[in-house]
Amino acid sequence: MSLSKYLAPPLTSLPLCLPRYYGGVILVGVGAFGLNAYFVRRVMQARKEHNVELPIMYHPTDKLFNCIQRGHQNYLEVLPYFLMALFVGGLRYPRTYTACGVIFLLGRLIYFQGYSTGDPGKRYKGSISMIGGLPMILGLLSFRCSTPGSQCKMYRLYFTQIKETGLHGRIFINT
């Protein structure tokens, strides 16, 4: 018998409560995947132009191809952290995280375009992405761990009923 059913309610009965304007956060997340698709297309074009076959990641002598590939790889290195910060922090500050996410993605595009010239020094113009990224990190630090769903009426009702009744199953919320 699993102890998990005693530790948390089943996900099928947990109410979903997203803040107003969270749609903007989701759109920025979709934009991050669109930007990745653009970078993939550029790397594939560079592979054809510079005759670099898969699975070889970097060319031994072709600096331009390596810069394009490295720009994409650098984006992939930060993407999981960005998405986690975006989707978690956006639960508390959706408009701020939407704006910061857009700035971050524009900075990453500038970074990639600068790197793709073959001169790695030109990538530093994309450091404006930190204007969006740093507030996202600081916002996560201020995101306190409190009673689950303390910002949402449905969650408060749900967890109050669990505390009062000890039930972890079928609880109906009339709002």
User: pLDDT, tens digit, for every residue of 51-71?
Assistant: 999 888 989 898 999 999 999
For residues 143 and 22, what is the distance between their CA atoms, to the nearest angstrom?
16
Contacts of residue 110, defined as CB under 8 A and 6 or more positions apart, other chains included, come to 125, 126, 128, 129
Looking at the fold, whether 100 and 88 belong to one and the same domain comes out as yes
pLDDT of residue 101: 97
Stretch among 39-43, 117-121, 163-167 having the lowest mean pLDDT: 163-167
The mean per-residue pLDDT over the stretch 117-141 comes to 89
pLDDT beyond 90 at 132: yes
pLDDT beyond 70 at 143: no
pLDDT beyond 50 at 24: yes
Stretch among 36-45, 64-73, 87-96, 144-153 having the lowest mean pLDDT: 144-153
**Higher pLDDT, residue 72 or 151:** 72
Residue 1 in domain: no
Residue 58 in domain: yes
pLDDT of residue 146: 47
Residue 56 in domain: yes
Q: What is the dihedral of CA 107, 37, 115, 60, to 10 degrees?
A: 150
Looking at the fold, whether 35 and 96 belong to one and the same domain comes out as yes
Domain count of the fold of the chain: 2
Q: How confident is the model at residue 166 (pLDDT cuts 50, 70, 90)?
A: low
Task: Look up residue 78 and give its two tokens.
Answer: 């930060």
Looking at the fold, whether 122 and 165 belong to one and the same domain comes out as no
